[in-house]
């Protein structure tokens, strides 16, 4: 995949600068968004850019920045009005940092409401240094027309910056990865006979969390340190707890991920309801060090169970492609999968 990696680097290396921040990282179980984030991290490292801080939309707090710091917003399929909260956060950043360069990494664009589109364009027009990367020609043409004050660039999806080992044992199994969210369509006409039919396994996790005695002890200690304002010791407790679980489970990344998902849900609950905003540092550390890598590895292990992938999710298709699988794309509600594959001639 060197051609995509080189293309991404050539397009973005001069834009990002020597220092940056990442304020809207995806702290949730979407494999694709976490692959995009990891692609961003690897590109920024290769570019020699220093990351001053990272956060998600939920842990973000405004901090003044020197004018030479670039704000890098994560890519994905959330520019527009389909996933409105994430777009509103982009507008918020544009308004909060009028003197900092803003680079939005490769996105797909979807607006169903023309007035919202105009409103967003008006907000972006107040800033004179916004660079919006898009990952398909349809999105590129749309933004060139509707966001004329911004610099619009056509750049491959950041997950294509990643490289994976393509060596795997033939399984003679076929997967129909069928998405189940607001981007899904009626897939009933698709003949999935003889295939495994499911969404990402992370999206099918149940909500029945059973805490062990040691879990409860560790959580009590974490709460105690948070009440004292000692995030460093809370992180130390969490690290000991989670490292012990990880080492005891060998290579079963699904169990590691499940533990990480349970712990993240608990930390987010505390941060919202018990100790508002006091766990931001702990959550940032935990997602970056455990949750993100385990989720990506879980996705890789899942896709590697199959030789053939019929994908209704873009990054199931991209991951299958990166792993050397036979991949067939089936579009989502607004055609972002085929549009990206056609734009970059991915076969």
Number of residues written out for the chain: 347
Task: Please name the residue ranges forming H helices in the chain.
Answer: 2-16, 31-46, 84-96, 114-124, 137-146, 213-227, 231-248, 253-269, 280-286, 292-303, 314-322, 336-343
d(CA 230, CA 332): 45
R_g of the chain computed on alpha carbons: 21
d(CA 320, CA 170): 14
d(CA 285, CA 307): 35
- Check residue 1 and give its pLDDT: 54
Per-residue pLDDT tens for 182-210?
888 999 899 999 999 999 999 876 667 88
d(CA 258, CA 202): 8
d(CA 347, CA 342): 9
Q: Is the dihedral of CA 139, 140, 146, 150 positive or negative?
A: positive
- Check residue 249 and give its pLDDT: 43
DSSP code of 106?
E
Is pLDDT above 80 for 47?
yes
Per-residue pLDDT tens for 95-135?
999 999 999 999 999 999 999 999 999 999 999 999 999 99
Q: What is the DSSP string of 74-85?
A: --EEEEESTTHH
Single out the residue of 70, 66, 75, 25 nearest to residue 285, CA to CA. Answer: 25
Is pLDDT above 90 for 251?
no
User: What angle separates helix 137-146 from helix 114-124, to the nearest 10 degrees?
Assistant: 70
Is pLDDT above 50 for 256?
yes
pTM: 0.93
What residues have CB less than 8 Å from 155, skipping those under 6 apart? 7, 8, 11, 12, 105, 106, 133, 134, 135
**3-class secondary structure, 207:** coil
d(CA 179, CA 199): 5
Is pLDDT above 60 for 250?
no
Task: Evaluate whether 153 touches 131 at the Cβ level (below 8 Å).
Answer: yes
d(CA 50, CA 48): 7
Structure confidence at residue 248 as a pLDDT band (50, 70, 90):
very low
Q: Tell which phi-psi region holds residue 84, choosing left (phi > 0), alpha (psi between -120 and 50) or beta.
A: alpha
Tokens of 180: 């189940």
Residue with tokens 């890789």: 300
Q: Is the dihedral of CA 57, 294, 317, 196 positive or negative?
A: negative
Structure confidence at residue 167 as a pLDDT band (50, 70, 90):
confident
Q: Region 128-156: what's the mean pLDDT?
A: 98
d(CA 192, CA 173): 12
d(CA 126, CA 137): 25
């Amino acid at each position: 995949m060197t051609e995509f990696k080189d293309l991404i680097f050539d397009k973005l290396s001069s834009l990002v600068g020597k220092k940056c921040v990442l304020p809207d990282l995806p702290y949730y179980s979407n494999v694709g968004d976490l692959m995009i984030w990891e692609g961003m991290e690897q590109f920024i490292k290769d570019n020699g850019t220093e990351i001053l801080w990272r956060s998600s939309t939920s842990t973000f707090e405004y901090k003044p920045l020197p004018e030479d710091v670039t704000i890098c917003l994560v890519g994905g399929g959330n520019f527009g009005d389909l996933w409105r909260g994430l777009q509103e956060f982009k507008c918020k950043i544009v308004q909060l940092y009028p003197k900092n360069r803003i680079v939005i990494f490769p996105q797909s664009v979807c607006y169903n409401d023309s007035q919202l589109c105009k409103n967003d364009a008006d907000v972006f027009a107040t800033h004179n240094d916004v660079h919006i990367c898009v990952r398909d020609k349809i999105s590129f043409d749309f933004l060139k027309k509707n966001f004329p004050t911004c610099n619009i660039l056509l750049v491959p999806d950041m997950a294509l910056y990643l490289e994976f080992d393509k060596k795997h044992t033939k399984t003679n199994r076929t997967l129909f990865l069928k998405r189940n969210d607001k981007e899904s369509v009626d897939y009933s006409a698709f003949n999935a006979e003889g295939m495994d039919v499911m969404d990402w396994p992370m999206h099918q996790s149940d909500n029945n969390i059973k805490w062990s005695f040691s879990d409860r002890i560790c959580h009590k200690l974490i709460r105690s340190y948070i009440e004292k304002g000692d995030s460093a010791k809370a992180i130390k407790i969490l690290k000991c707890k989670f490292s012990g679980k990880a080492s005891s489970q060998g290579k079963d990344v699904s169990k590691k991920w499940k533990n990480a998902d349970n712990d993240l849900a608990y930390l987010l609950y505390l941060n919202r309801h018990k100790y508002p905003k006091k766990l931001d540092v702990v959550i940032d550390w935990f997602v970056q060090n455990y949750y993100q890598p385990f989720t990506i590895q879980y996705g890789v292990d899942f896709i590697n169970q199959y030789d053939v992938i019929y994908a209704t999710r873009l990054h199931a298709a991209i991951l299958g492609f990166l792993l050397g699988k036979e991949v067939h794309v089936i579009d989502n509600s607004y055609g972002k999968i085929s549009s990206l594959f056609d734009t970059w001639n991915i076969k």
